[in-house]
Structure 1
Amino acid sequence: MPSDTDKLIEIARYATQAIGAAAIGLIAINQLRKLLPSRHLWGRGYSSSPLHATHNAHLFHLQILYAITSSSIPWTGKSLGGFALLGFSLGGGIAMSFTAAFPELIDSMILLGPAGILRILPGDYLAPIFKYHAFAPAWYVRRRAGLTLGVNVNGTAQESDLKGEMGVDVPSTKEETSVGKLDFPAMAQWQFDNHHGCVHSWLDTLNNAPVMHQHAEWEKVIARLGASESGISKLLVIFGEDDQVVNRSEVGVEMAEMFTRQGKREKLDIRTVPGDHGFPVTQADAVVEHIADFWQM
């Protein structure tokens, strides 16, 4: 792919392997001509878990910087401008945090059901065992984490029992997507059974990542919208109609209020597609259509 192609990094959610977001990634490459490096967040998929590093914003910033600096083509520079970020769930919080820290590197951003300014985590994520897991037996913590992540904790995938992270239904086994059939329950089960660092990374992310109360960081990004020709001029946010994790009626309204307070409401473009919190996978084509329209492509 030529070095002057527009570039996009997609950041996935809590427990999602990079392949789980492959539909949007490949459509973006094929239709929008965006170069998208497909990397697992540390502790997911085939990516090792840094056991002695806190999974906070700084660690995820480092991973983005590692992705662009290890590439064989240039991603930034005076003549190249910046690159685009697409953040899904946890990835939305990371994208906003990274942009607040490195605004000159980003020239466009799209958020899909973004975490970051959540006031409270959903359901089982509030279990005290996850906050104080260091004081509990490792086997019990792993079992509780597995149940919350929606896998069979005995190591045998049972499709009817599997739920997606945060209690959201995942597509059935071998779901037909724009990039072929993806076996989401099997991927989640494989990761739980074989990646010995995935539970550690999930717990540390849950307690330290930029998921909740990141209003100050978001205000910094909003304040800079349209401030320079090379930076972000407008933000696209897409919600799932039935998303009970990142609800448009709560998060979307609060975002609108934040933009309004800074006199920049016109720089926030909020859209909705069918589906729950897994909509970027099940509605990948619709999501990319909105992105193409937003970029006027």
Structure 2
Amino acid sequence: MSNEKQKTIPNYIKFTFGGSAGMAATLFVQPLDLVKNRMQLAATQQERATSFQVLRKIIVNEGVFALYTGLSAGLLRQATYTTTRLGVYSWLFETFSDENKAPNFLTKAALGMAAGMCGAFVGTPAEVSLIRMTADGRLPAAERRNYKNVFEALTRIIREEGLLTLWRGAIPTMGRAMVVNAAQLATYSQAKQILINTGFFHDGILLHFCASMISGLVTTAASMPVDIAKTRVQNMKTIDGKPEYKGALDVLVKVVKNEGPFALWKGFTPYYFRLGPHTVLTFIFLEQMNGAYNQLVLGKTGTGGSL
């Protein structure tokens, strides 16, 4: 029994698998992240458009390859944010699990929030770079930042605006991460248990896919208002020494006042079609890597992932 208990996936492997899964998923959904960010930054009536219209405008005006603008920042974000949050969550999940019993739903939510906060703080510099790079194409040519890649973005931000600018919007980013992870990680684990208990599902890709889609829908609805606040704070410019917004709460108040309450869910479709598939792909990749490690390295049979 003691030998079996010792045979678990090492923490550094959990962190590596978490980041690798997120980066692999980003390769598929980066265009949707671009569309979502553009829609969230559209504050005037003239700028507002559907997901398809925004997508078409990007392709016509900037070219097909522009859909992957900011990919380097997206990958670095996953390498930092997702590596940390999924690694911390996997470690906490295992720590708070009894030998034959997983944590209850509220505990999973709390673990997800803690993991999200850690990941968001580590990933905020890449997040700031990502928001700015994906937003650049909507600006007049004279106002564009024209970052070539995430490393140039980070270097120029430090040189031109100071080191602390890399953590601009860290509080709403961490708040969003708490909501996302509490919803995403907890509902994913809970959905897996409920689906297995129906008797129609067994541990495998179909189960992971269905649980991920349920998790993605709940997460999208819960996190969008915080996400739009984060996006606008991180992309705002300082004019005559005065920033556009005082903080996340100021963004939410102004959005509701000037654009209506439903504007807080602006970009819901690309957000879900980005978050849904990203959630699906991340968890599928992660479950497969965990399962392969358990079987090939630890010699466990009949075991899947660990979420």
Is TM more than 0.5 here? no
**TM-score, normalised by the number of residues in structure 2:** 0.25
The structure where helix makes up a greater share of residues is 2
The structure where strand makes up a greater share of residues is 1
**TM-score, normalised by the number of residues in structure 1:** 0.25
